[in-house]
Amino acid sequence: FEETSLASTSALGGAFLVWLSRADGGLAVLQRLLVAIAALVGIVLAARFVRGIARIWITRFTRLSKLLQGFITGAIFWIFIVVGLLVVLSAVDVDITPLFAVIGGASFILAFAFQDTLGNLASGLMIMINQPFDEGDFIEIGGVGGTVMNVSIVGTTIATPDNKIIVVPNK
C-alpha cells in the first residue's frame, strides 16, 4: 500500500496499462464482461421465446380470464429472467449467497409494508381463477351497484348507473 501511495502518476498509469494487457488482468475482466452481456442478451431472448410458448399453451384454457393469462405469462417471463441472471452471476464467479440473504430480508420487510396490496393481489388472483363475475356483468359490492368495466390484479373498476367510475379494491 505504501508503494502505491509514493508512486508517481505516470508509474501508476503504466502499471494500469500493463494490468490491462495481461491475460489474468484486464483481458480476463473484459472477457467476463462480454460473456455476461452475451448471456444477458441470450436470457432475454430465451425468456421472450418461453413467454410466447407459454402464451400459446395457456390460451388453450378458455376458462382462464385474459388478465390471468397475461399475469401467468408475465410471471413465467420474469422468473426465467431472474433464474437466468442468477446462473450468469454464478458463472462469472460472483457469490450469490449474500444476494439470497438480501432478497429474503427485503421480501420479509416488503410483505409487512404491502400487506393490503398483497391482500388485494391474492384476492384479484382468486377472482380471476374463480371468475364470480366478468367484464360487462352488473354486480353490487359494498352497497355500490354497477357494471364491471375492468378487473385487474388489485382492483375492480365499476361504472355506476349515474356514470360514476368507482375502483373497488379486490380485498
pLDDT of residue 2: 54
Mean pLDDT of 100-110: 88
H/E element, 35 = helix 26-58
**What pLDDT was estimated at residue 47?**
94
Residues 6+ apart with CB under 8 A from 105: none
Mean pLDDT, the chain, integer: 84
* Measured CA distances, 158 to 67, 70, 77, 131 (Å): 16, 21, 30, 16
Task: Looking at mean pLDDT, say which of 45-49, 55-59, 126-130, 135-139 comes out highest.
Answer: 45-49
Cell of 154: 388489485
- Please give the helix or strand (H or E) that residue 157 lies within, else none: strand 155-159
3-class secondary structure, 95? coil
Of all residues in the chain, the percent with pLDDT exceeding 70 is: 96
CB atoms within 10 A of CB 87: 12
Q: pTM score, two decimals?
A: 0.59
Which residues touch 150 (CB under 8 Å, ≥6 apart)? Answer: 135, 156, 157
Q: Residue 112: its pLDDT value, please? A: 87
Please report where in the chains the cell 380470464 appears, as a residue: 65
Q: Would you say residue 26 has pLDDT above 80?
A: no
pLDDT digits (tens, 9 = 90+) for 137-155: 898 877 778 998 888 878 8
